[in-house]
Every structure is written in structure tokens, then in C-alpha cells.
Structure 1
């Protein structure tokens, strides 16, 4: 008789946004047990629908204890967390011992911090760090147009301009997104994140940005070159579409296979209702646009 191996239990370190819930649902649908550790002040109260616990961001020892006692073997770090003020973390003993390394990792940028944490969990505590895309490939953006509206010729040119800008800031570990309109870069994403960047665009004078009555301009999101995809991938959702529409943009272009889409059906539905396009860019198109 063939024995079917039970899927490894998944621990989810949950930050802000809807992705931790979407991931937990996808994991359970695939037959995995999940246990969510919600970061206080970041994670949604919706994690209460699943086996869960709460921990403050500086309580690393408690975080590790909870995952081990729950029997988690694989862990995924998902959801937004604001870059911490090291002086206000309220560190426990494990956190205090880790602090010098965290400070060193942070000097290497966000990607350096995330790589360091992944190595800490794996080499020192025996967890296997996995990416959300490895758990739920259905969350990945396809190389396709999701909407009824397609980019115009000018918007295709703006996509290429924003691709070059996004790759440039990504290489410097600054951010993942850029907004271009009629041949001009309007905004680059930094530590504030995509939604705040779009709110900045919405505050620009109408003659600079697209307008709701005559949408123009595009948002492009791409992975940073060499990015640690297990712990950090570009993400869009309904809020991204709503903010792009409020900024007067005509659409959104993201990296196919390298961007997480929270509830793709809802994203397409809202984008169609607002007259925006949402398109996944293949690697060949990104490389072409970067020239």
C-alpha cells in the first residue's frame, strides 16, 4: 500500500494587508495545516479565522517558540511591516541577542535584512523558509491582459519608460514601482510603498498627471534585480487599482510570474468598472522595455 505523505505544516508570519489571509486560504485548500503568528499593530484581525497567536515585533524568542510549539516546519514571511525603529522594539532576550546582526543587515538595505532573517530561521532554527508563490502559484500574475481595456500606443511607451525607472531604483534597493505619464516619470516608489506613492501622484496638478475624466499614465511594478523572492515580492490588489484610478492613471503593468495578485478576479472586476487596464509583462517585454 502506498503511503501518502502529509503536507508539512506551514507557519505564516503575518504583517499588514490581505495577503496573509489569501495565502492561508490557499494553503488550506491544498491540504496544508496552517498556523498564523500575527505581528501586533500590523496584521489584520481576520487571522482569528485560523489557528493563530499574536506577538509584538521585537519578541523574537516568543515568535520562534510559538512556531515550534505549533509544529510548523515551513514558514513564510508575508504582509507589510513598517521599517522598525530599533530603539522602540521592546526586544526580548532573543531579540536583544539578534539586534547587532539586524542592524548590520539593515545597512545592506531591505533585501539584506530579509535575506539575513531567512538565513537565521533556516540555519539556526531548522525552519524552511518558503515563498508565497511556492505555496500558492495561483496568486502569481499571468503574462496576460486581465481587463477589457488594453494600453494605447502612448501608454505602451510609458510602460517602457516606467520599466526602465523601476529597474533602476530596484538595482539600488530603493523600491519596486514607478509611474510614467506622456513620456515623463511622475513618481518613484521608496520606503512609503506603492499606495502612498499613488496618493502623491493624485495630489499632482492635473496638467502633470492623468485625470479621472481622461485617464492617462501607468503604474509599473517589478521585482528588484536579484531580489530574495521568498520573502519579498511585488504585490497588487483592489486597493492598488482604486488608488491608481484616483491618481488619474490609465492602467497597471506588473511582472508576470513575479508579482502576487490578491484576488485576481476582484482586481479585474474593479479595473473594468473604472476603465483601467491591468497587464502582466513577460520577461522578454521587460528586457525590451529596459533598452
Structure 2
């Protein structure tokens, strides 16, 4: 008689906003995993309450780990947008209080990646294994090539190169993951306010040529990025914001960015006349070496 199959490891999901936490939960359940979701207050939506779940406030690091451990989770995915909190908004529990000086130092000296590394370190110090969302839902990662019927022309490709260099530069300083270039010049850089805020600035300050779309948004991982968390992400909202800013398209690093729903993003971009392109990592290296 054959031995019974080993039960898959239970998955914990640290949920920020948007649809991705539940898409990962659905994929995990389809693969036979039990799932427990911890929603971050102020970020995750009430839809997580359809699943076994708990809630945690920003700064309550002890409760964060305890909820996963008490639920029997072994692996944890951190997924979904979360706004960087102001120091005054962090209400630590005892474990969080012990970590607070390190959080403050990283908030002052680094960006989001520095802080997320601290969260990953804390969870793994407590016996949990942090894994990338794409290990559960493989379709999340951007593929190489053109996603849309609209394609970039030579001027757009030149703008992509300009924006890659700019995004790589701010990424090396842990500032942001995105840049917008138009007509060979950088016109916007992402900061801690995120991509939506950057595109809103472009729409207000650089509305573009009424005769047609121009300029591109590029998103790529930071050079020293903790790739299990906070990979650059685009969705239909990104496409809509890019269109409102008069841009011609969006380009991301293949294998280094998450597309929330490839089909929906492609349909939205085609309807608005934008291209969406996945470029190879070698293009980044050739431009920035």
C-alpha cells in the first residue's frame, strides 16, 4: 500500500489592498492548500472576511506573527498595495515596540524595500517562510513580449530606454520603481506616494500633445529588491491612469513585475489605444551596466 500524499503546507497571506490577495488565496486553495488571511487595517478590504482571517494594525508585529502561527501557517505571501505609514500612525504592540527603532532608522535612511526586508526578517525569525506570490499563482509574472495589438514605435522604444535608466537610478537609491519619459526626457519619477500619484502629476503638469499619445511609463524592480515582496505591479487602473496622462504605453521587466490580470490589462489597453510591453532583463543590464 502506498503512503498517503503529504498535505501541502498551509499558506498565510498578509493582505494589502486590491484583488491580488484573494486571487492568490483562490489559487492556493485550488492547489490543495489551506489558507489563512491577515488583513492590514486601512489597506485590505472586507472581502477577506469570506476566508478564515484575522486583522492587524500597522505596527502590531507580535500579533502579526502570532495570527499566522496560531492558524498553523508555514508559508506566508505578502501581497497587495499598502501605503507607507507616517510614524504617528504606527501603534506598536510589545514586539513592534522592540522593532520600532529599526523601523524608524529604515524609514529615515531607506525606502519601502528596506522596511519590507525588516518585515520579512521578522516573520522568518518567527519560523515562517516568506515566499513570492508568483510561486502560488504563476500567471502573475509579466511575460516577455507585446501584450496588446498596439505596438511601440521607434520613438516609444527610445523613451523606454530613457525611462529604464531613470527607474534603475531611483531604484538603486530605494526611492521608487517607476519613471515616465516623453520625447527623450524624463518627466516624472515615482516616490513613496506610488505610481498613481506620479501619473496624476503627469496628467496635471505634462498633459502631452493633443494630436496623439506620447511618452511611456516604465516599471522595474530595484537592483537589490527583495523579490518575494513588492514587485512592481500594474493593473487596469494603471492603464487608465496612463491613458489619462496622455501616455502611449507601459513597459515592464519580464519576470520582474506583476500584472494583476493579464487579460483584463490587455483588453483595457487595447480599448484605450495603449501598448503594454514586457522587455527582457538583459535590456536593463545593457542600458545600465
Q: Which residue of 2 aligns with 1:199?
A: 200
Write the distance in 2 (CA, Å) between the matches of 1:165 and 1:142: 22
After superposition, give the CA deviation of every residue in 1:209-232 in whole Å (9 maximum; x if it has no partner). 254x51111000000001101122
After superposition, give the CA deviation of every residue in 1:33-79 in whole Å (9 maximum; x if it has no partner). 11111111111222123221222112222222211111111111112
Alignment of 1:119-268 (within 5 A): 119-123=121-125, 125-206=126-207, 209-211=208-210, 214-268=212-266
Q: Which residue of 1 aligns with 2:278?
A: 280
Write the distance in 1 (CA, Å) between the matches of 2:133 and 2:73: 16
Write the distance in 2 (CA, Å) between the matches of 1:183 and 1:100: 42
SS in 1 for 2:14: strand
Give the conservation status (yes or no) of the 8 Å contact 2:111–2:192: no
Give the conservation status (yes or no) of the 8 Å contact 1:158–1:181: yes
TM-score of the superposed pair, with normalisation by structure 2 = 0.94
After superposition, give the CA deviation of every residue in 1:176-218 in whole Å (9 maximum; x if it has no partner). 0000111111100011101110011011244xx254x511110
Paired residues in the alignment total: 287
Where in structure 2 are there 5+ consecutive unaligned residues?
Answer: none
Q: Which residue of 2 aligns with 1:110?
A: 112
Alpha-carbon distance, 1:2 to partner: 4.1
Q: Which residue of 2 aligns with 1:12?
A: 13
Alignment of 1:48-127 (within 5 A): 48-106=49-107, 107-123=109-125, 125-127=126-128
Write the distance in 2 (CA, Å) between the matches of 1:210 and 1:34: 49
Write the distance in 2 (CA, Å) between the matches of 1:289 and 1:160: 7
TM-score of the superposed pair, with normalisation by structure 1 = 0.94
Alpha-carbon distance, 1:32 to partner: 1.6
Please identify, of 228-237 and 54-63, the stretch whose mean Cα deviation from structure 2 is larger: 54-63
SS in 2 for 1:12: strand
Write the distance in 1 (CA, Å) between the matches of 2:47 and 2:74: 23
Q: Which residue of 2 aligns with 1:21?
A: 22
Please identify, of 49-58 and 248-257, the stretch whose mean Cα deviation from structure 2 is larger: 49-58
Q: CA RMSD in A?
A: 1.6
Write the distance in 1 (CA, Å) between the matches of 2:137 and 2:253: 17
Please identify, of 196-205 and 250-259, the stretch whose mean Cα deviation from structure 2 is larger: 196-205
Write the distance in 1 (CA, Å) between the matches of 2:195 and 2:152: 21
Please identify, of 169-178 and 99-108, the stretch whose mean Cα deviation from structure 2 is larger: 99-108
After superposition, give the CA deviation of every residue in 1:125-178 in whole Å (9 maximum; x if it has no partner). 100011112222210000011100100110011001101111111111110000
Write the distance in 1 (CA, Å) between the matches of 2:12 and 2:56: 14
Give the conservation status (yes or no) of the 8 Å contact 2:114–2:174: no
Where in structure 1 are there 5+ consecutive unaligned residues?
Answer: none
Please identify, of 93-102 and 143-152, the stretch whose mean Cα deviation from structure 2 is larger: 93-102
